[in-house]
Structure 1
Amino acid sequence: MIKASDMKRKLAKWAGKESYSGLMASFLKWVVLGALIGILTGSASALFLKGLDAVTAYRMDQPWLLYLLPLGGALVSFLYMKYGKNSGRGNNLILEQVRGGQETIPLRMAPLVLFGTLVTHLLGGSAGREGTAVQMGGSLAEGVGRLIRIDAEDRKLLLMCGISGGFGSVFGTPLAGTIFGLEVIAIGMISHRSLVPCFTASFVGNLTATYVWKVGHLHYGMGQVPGLSGLVLLKVCFAAILFGLTARLFSELCHAFKKAFTRLLPNPVLKTAAGGVAVIVLVFVAGTRDYLGLGIPLIQDSFEEGGVSPFAFLWKLLFTSVTLGAGFQGGEVTPLFAIGAALGSSLATLLHMYGPFLAALGFIAVFCGAANTPLACFIMGIELFGSEGAVYLMIVCIISYIFSGHTGIYSSQQIGIPKGSMLLMPGESYTLEEWKQRKRSKQD
């Protein structure tokens, strides 16, 4: 006769085996799916990066192309209006669907954003590349999900794979890409369940872009890292506050220009054309074309002692916010790198610190404040600049994240856990856009 205690032990042992086999099945499932998304996103990023290099080089050789910027922007806006469906909502659409939205992310988003971003850079718009990579990744992941008929919960994970795979492969930072896909969805909250799929997608995506398609990534050196002291920490904290406030300024200005352009010119085609004219005017006012495109030369100059003018970061901020506010396609991250690096370089003279060191801190911190992703940015800093300055990288990421407030470049980003206490009542949940509207209604 079997004792009850023996039966319980056997049942517990059997349940443990079942649980373990279930975990293994889930692990293998998401390694396979994550790798598939990584291959797709890595290949898409490689195509995009090679195309971006080609159109940028051609624009540099043909300065007259700048005067076609209004026409090119109008063409892209017309294509989105005619064929894009809800693709025009870009990254915000993907974030909403990860949180359980019921809309479909159309597969056409990938070719549309690829073409639109290449046109922006060919003709001189000031924009980045992460938005394009993330949108291509999300669109491709959605397409795979429909093909294999996944359920709603698995769809969320697959979309996060698309975000991580696109980000990691376009910047050559697989660890940062992993955490970015987890962290960008909701401020203050991370789903550890998504670690395996997001890491696999980002890691395989980077391998695919770098080693299969031979895409190269630029790297910069922060140079000599100062020793820890009270004075150095005080200077770094002061700079970090300015990085966070600059991130906030960038986010607010982008959203303000979007609203202003839409209010003045509700027609998307006319709106983008007007934005192209505004960028051309800015070129003549600034007296230089240094603030067009990604801003790579500005970043490179920022890592040289005395390489940028004191207000170069403000010019790049203005060029980019006008370009994106008018509806041109492209991301925000690389311009944010340029803005942060240029600001750090400028602050080095004021604070009597080594220029490349502060440029590296600004490079990471301004992006951190605008995207509200402190862990991803900290890890990216280590991947790009090494671990010697890890303490300083963490300090500037934390402070910039706090001082950027509840603003950001992704208006559909959810406030999972607010940055300050007593801001939300229990059970309340807002996106950054809803939070802004709530504050505005209280003031009215």
Structure 2
Amino acid sequence: MFKNFFSNQVSLLKYLIRWSVIVMPVAVAIGSMVALFLWLLSWAIHYRFAHTWLLYLLPLAGIIIHLLYKWYGQSAERGNNLIIDEIHQPGAGVPKRMAPLILVTTVITHLFGGSAGREGTAVQIGGSLANLFSGWFRLDEADKKTLLTAGVAAGFGAVFGTPLTGTIFALEVIAIGRINYTALLPCLIAGLVGDVTVSAWGIKHTLYHIDLIDTGQLLYGKHVPVNFMLLAKVILAAALFGLAAMAFAKAVHLVKSTLLKWIKISWLMPVCGAIIIIGLTFILGRPDYLSLGVEPEYPGAVTIVSAFQQGGALNFSWFWKLVYTAVTLGSGFKGGEVTPLFYIGATLGNTLGELMNAPIGLFAALGFIAVFAGATNTPLACTLMGIELFGGEHALLFAVACFTAYFFSGEGGIYSAQRTAQQKLPESETGKPKYLQRIFGKYRL
């Protein structure tokens, strides 16, 4: 018995050492490239702030991006979905050109004002470099899938400064309703090393702050840790966050399918998208919904950061960001979806907080993570993101918001390659819940 125990511990130690040796250089490479990407992205955004006329060249930028992917992209055009498919079932692999191509085209998108994010770029950098290293290390199929998952964790953790979130996101995003813990340790190592690498390069992440409030109440003279009125408001808001997430996913697909149906010349699709973005900016008279939306272009601009303050967002800021991003990504520009989802969630949370007479900063934080949870079907990772970004004082409300939004966002999401291991709600063939079937038996409802 002692011999078997000792043998198992030695095997676990060998496993830890082996994957540490494999993952650490990969995560350092991913973190370094993500740091370069974040530096270039910051430069592009601030350069556009100083040269606002660049927005009018967005149609030309769209053509350049289209041609780059037409000439050099090949399978890399599928982006995050290609990486998810490769994790499910390794095939032709993730092309080496994916990392530099997505980096360059995302910077171009933001330089000329396209509304996109950065998570997709970081994940594709992670997947591309992980696939490259798996070939160098001559890994078998199972180990390659593990390293690809760790690459996603490193990229996500590095770009947002949330290594634990990156770890769980990489495991949770693969299939709805199932988490495979086989790659947990490599992902944790990758997420941590990737984040540390970005920090070592001197790249700073945005800091968010919410005021501490007492979320408890007195009940029959006793203090309980949950304010039931506040909890009811959180659940209602989270349901709306889930619907916003579903609307975002469907809007991106709708824009893409509509343009494919009506425009037969492929390079005209990003041109049309760019013209819509320029027209909307001219009509609204404010550039707040361009690019990332993290830093203000002018004093008083609506940003993710401003949404955490009273009056820091307009009533329909979330809607316009949804439209801008759906048009940008649906017409062929490159970048991620997550930062725009943060913007949509934070500004919607700001609006709902004011309408419900609830804490503005708290509801902005809840929207920040819950819309993301609904759109990507990763409620556990997003709960952890809330804790990593905003602290653990409101962890219970973070979980309630993320899981509620997850259920209300429907069965789909922003990643078409994400498989459904288990539906969110069990249903019979006729669509009736199983518990109703048991209660009513053969009677028709």
Q: Does 85-94 or 229-238 show the bigger shift?
A: 229-238
Pick one of 215, 229, 241 that aligns with 2:227. Answer: 229
- Measured against aligned partners, the alpha-carbon deviations of 1:26-60 in whole angstroms (never above 9, x if no partner) come to 22111122212210111011000000000000000
Gap regions ≥5 residues in structure 2: 217-225, 297-302, 431-445
Tell me what 2:263 maps to: 265
Give 3-state SS (helix, strand or coil) of 2:369's partner: helix
1:244 touches 1:366 (CA, 8 Å); kept in 2? Answer: yes
AA partner of residue 366 (structure 1): V
Tell me what 1:4 maps to: none
TM-score by length of 1: 0.91
**Separation in 2 of the partners of 1:89 and 1:382?**
32
Q: CA deviation at 1:17?
A: 4.3
Tell me what 1:107 maps to: 96
Pick one of 339, 350, 355 that aligns with 1:350. Answer: 355
Correspondence list, 1:190-269, <5 A? 190-210=179-199, 212-225=200-213, 226-227=215-216, 228-269=226-267
Determine what percentage of the aligned residue pairs are the same residue. Answer: 46
Tell me what 1:52 maps to: 41
1:187 touches 1:417 (CA, 8 Å); kept in 2? Answer: yes
1:220 touches 1:384 (CA, 8 Å); kept in 2? Answer: yes
**Separation in 2 of the partners of 1:374 and 1:424?**
27
Tell me what 1:282 maps to: 280
Q: CA deviation at 1:354?
A: 1.6
1:111–1:268 Cα change, 3 Å: farther
Number of aligned residues: 413
Q: CA deviation at 1:265?
A: 2.2
Give 3-state SS (helix, strand or coil) of 1:331's partner: coil
Tell me what 1:32 maps to: 21
Correspondence list, 1:5-20, <5 A? 16-20=5-9
**Separation in 2 of the partners of 1:268 and 1:216?**
38
2:90 touches 2:141 (CA, 8 Å); kept in 1? Answer: no
**Separation in 1 of the partners of 2:102 and 2:353?**
37
Give 3-state SS (helix, strand or coil) of 2:304's partner: helix
- Measured against aligned partners, the alpha-carbon deviations of 1:42-85 in whole angstroms (never above 9, x if no partner) come to 10110000000000000000011001111111111111011111
Correspondence list, 1:26-425, <5 A? 26-210=15-199, 212-225=200-213, 226-227=215-216, 228-296=226-294, 297=296, 298-422=303-427
2:90 touches 2:145 (CA, 8 Å); kept in 1? Answer: no
AA partner of residue 383 (structure 1): E
Q: CA deviation at 1:192?
A: 1.2
TM-score by length of 2: 0.90
Q: Does 61-70 or 13-22 show the bigger shift?
A: 13-22
1:313 touches 1:338 (CA, 8 Å); kept in 2? Answer: yes
1:338 touches 1:363 (CA, 8 Å); kept in 2? Answer: yes
Q: CA deviation at 1:423?
A: 6.3
AA partner of residue 421 (structure 2): G
1:230–1:165 Cα change, 3 Å: same
- Measured against aligned partners, the alpha-carbon deviations of 1:405-429 in whole angstroms (never above 9, x if no partner) come to 112111110101110103689xxxx
The structure in which a higher percent of residues are helix is 1
1:113–1:423 Cα change, 3 Å: farther
Q: CA deviation at 1:22?
A: 2.7
Gap regions ≥5 residues in structure 1: 1-11, 426-444
Aligned-residue Cα RMSD (Å) equals 1.4
Q: CA deviation at 1:103?
A: 2.2
Q: CA deviation at 1:19?
A: 3.8
Q: CA deviation at 1:23?
A: 2.5
Tell me what 2:434 maps to: none
Q: CA deviation at 1:271?
A: 1.2
AA partner of residue 164 (structure 2): L
**Separation in 2 of the partners of 1:89 and 1:253?**
18
AA partner of residue 232 (structure 1): L
1:222 touches 1:356 (CA, 8 Å); kept in 2? Answer: yes
**Separation in 2 of the partners of 1:357 and 1:19?**
46
**Separation in 2 of the partners of 1:266 and 1:91?**
25
